[in-house]
Amino acid sequence: MSQDKATLDAKTVAKIAHLARIKVPEEEQAHLADELNKLLGWVEQLGEVDTDGVEPMTSVAAQTLRRRPDQVTDGGYPDAVVLNATDAAEHFFSVPKVVE
Amino acid sequence: MTNLTHLSMSEALDGLKKKEFTAVELTEAYVKAVEAARPLNAFITETPEIALDQAKASDARYAAGTNGPMDGMPLGIKDLFCTKGVLTTAASHILDGFKPAYESTITANLFRDGAVMLGKLNLDEFAMGSANITSYYGPVLNPWTGKDPAAADRKLVPGGSSGGSAASVSGRFAIAATGTDTGGSIRQPASFTGIVGLKPTYGRCSRWGTIAFASSLDQAGPMTRTVRDAAIMLQSMAGFDPKDSTSVDMPVPDFQAALTGDIRGLRVGIPKEYRVEGMPAEIERVWQQGIEWLKAAGAVPVEISLPHTKYALATYYVVAPAECSSNLARYDGVRFGLRVEGKDLKEMYENTRGEGFGKEVRRRIMIGTYVLSAGYYDAYYLKAQKVRARIAEDFAKAYEQCDVILTPTAPSTAFAIGEKQDDPISMYLNDVFTVPASLAGLPGISVPAGLAADGLPLGLQILGRPFDEVTLLRVAGVMEQAAGAQPLPPFCR
Residues B140-198: tens digit of each pLDDT:
999 999 877 666 677 999 999 999 999 999 999 999 999 999 999 999 999 999 999 99
Using CA atoms, how far apart are residues A77 and B100, in angstroms rounded to an integer?
13
Closest CB to B336 among A38, A61, A84: A84
Closest CB to A84 among B98, B332, B369: B98
pLDDT tier at A86, thresholds 50, 70, 90: confident
CB-CB neighbors (< 8 A) of B354 in chain A: 22-24
Q: Domains in chain B and their CATH numbers?
A: 4-265+402-492 (3.90.1300.10)
DSSP state of A65: P
Regarding predicted confidence, which is higher, A7 or B349? Answer: B349
Closest CB to B367 among A39, A46, A57: A39
CB-CB neighbors (< 8 A) of B212 in chain A: none
Regarding predicted confidence, which is higher, A89 or B447? Answer: B447
SS3 B70: coil
Tell me what pLDDT residue A5 has. Answer: 55
Residues across chain B: 493
- Chains A & B: contacts with CB separation below 8 Å: 176
Sign of the four-CA dihedral B319, B322, B327, B333: positive
Which of B199, B335, B347, B426 would you mutate first to test chain A, the one with the most A CBs within 10 A? B335
Task: Give backbone dihedrals phi and psi of B475, rounded to 5 degrees, phi first.
Answer: -65, -40
Give the residue-averaged pLDDT of A13-31.
94
* Cβ atoms of A39 and B365 closer than 8 Å: no
CB-CB neighbors (< 8 A) of B370 in chain A: 8, 16, 36, 40
Q: Would you tell me how many other CB atoms lie within 10 Å of the CB of residue B273?
A: 16
Give Cα separations from B338 to B41, B320, B434 (angstroms): 23, 24, 33
Tell me what pLDDT residue B350 has. Answer: 97
Give Cα separations from A39 to A8, A43, B212, B314, B414 (angstroms): 11, 6, 23, 9, 24
Q: Beta strands B74-78 and B176-181: pairing type?
A: parallel
- Which candidate, B376, B331, B367, B324, places its Cα nearest to that of B349? B331
Say what angle helices B359-371 and A10-19 make with each other, to 10 degrees: 90
Using CA atoms, how far apart are residues A90 and A77, in angstroms rounded to an integer?
13
Which of A19, A60, A63 would you mutate first to test chain B, the one with the most B CBs within 10 A? A60
Closest CB to A46 among B343, B387, B389: B387
DSSP state of B94: G
Say what angle helices B312-327 and B359-371 make with each other, to 10 degrees: 100
Tell me what pLDDT residue B68 has. Answer: 98
Helices (H), chain A: 10-19, 26-43, 78-81
Distance from CA of A48 to the nearest CA of B (A): 9
* Cβ atoms of B380 and B91 closer than 8 Å: no
ipTM associated with this complex? 0.92
To the nearest 10°, the Cα dihedral for B134, B135, B137, B138?
-40
Least-confidence region, from A87-91, B52-56, B84-88, B129-133? A87-91
Tell me what pLDDT residue B427 has. Answer: 87
- A51, B424: Cβ pair inside 8 Å? no
With CA atoms as reference, the chain A residue closest to B332 would be: A21
Per-residue pLDDT for A65 more than 90? no
* Cβ atoms of B444 and B464 closer than 8 Å: yes
Task: Give backbone dihedrals phi and psi of B256, rounded to 5 degrees, phi first.
Answer: -65, -30
Distance from CA of B444 to the nearest CA of A (A): 15
Least-confidence region, from A39-43, B27-31, B229-233? A39-43
Which residues have a Cβ under 8 Å from the Cβ of B471 and sit 6 or more positions away? B258, B266, B403, B404, B464, B465
Tell me what pLDDT residue B235 has. Answer: 98
Q: What is the pLDDT of residues B216-227, one digit of tens each?
A: 999 999 999 999
Regarding predicted confidence, which is higher, B81 or A60? Answer: B81
CB-CB neighbors (< 8 A) of B249 in chain A: 66
Tell me what pLDDT residue A2 has. Answer: 41
pLDDT tier at A1, thresholds 50, 70, 90: very low
Give the residue-averaged pLDDT of B42-51.
98
Which of B370, B380, B394 would you mutate first to test chain A, the one with the most A CBs within 10 A? B370
Per-residue pLDDT for B493 more than 90? no
Characterise A65 by phi-psi region: left (phi > 0), alpha (psi -120 to 50), beta (else): beta
- B367, A84: Cβ pair inside 8 Å? no
Amino acid found at A21: R
Q: What is the pLDDT of residues B277-313, one digit of tens each?
A: 788 899 999 999 999 999 999 999 999 999 999 999 9
Characterise B74 by phi-psi region: left (phi > 0), alpha (psi -120 to 50), beta (else): beta
User: Domain spans of chain A?
Assistant: 7-47
Tell me what pLDDT residue B3 has. Answer: 93
Which residues of B are known catalytic residues?
78, 161, 185
Sign of the four-CA dihedral B102, B106, B112, B116: negative
Which of A43, A55, A64 would you mutate first to test chain B, the one with the most B CBs within 10 A? A43
CB-CB neighbors (< 8 A) of B429 in chain A: none
Which residues have a Cβ under 8 Å from the Cβ of B328 and sit 6 or more positions away? B126, B357, B361, B365
CB-CB neighbors (< 8 A) of B341 in chain A: 96
**% residues pLDDT > 90 (chain B):** 93
Per-residue pLDDT for B372 more than 60? yes
CB-CB neighbors (< 8 A) of B425 in chain A: 38-39, 42
Give Cα separations from A86 to B27, B128, B341 (angstroms): 35, 26, 11
Tell me what pLDDT residue B419 has. Answer: 86
Per-residue pLDDT for A4 more than 50? no
- B101, A46: Cβ pair inside 8 Å? no
- B369, A24: Cβ pair inside 8 Å? no
Tell me what pLDDT residue B28 has. Answer: 98
DSSP state of B191: H
Q: What is the pLDDT of residues B239-286, one digit of tens each?
A: 999 999 999 999 999 999 999 999 999 999 999 999 987 888 999 999
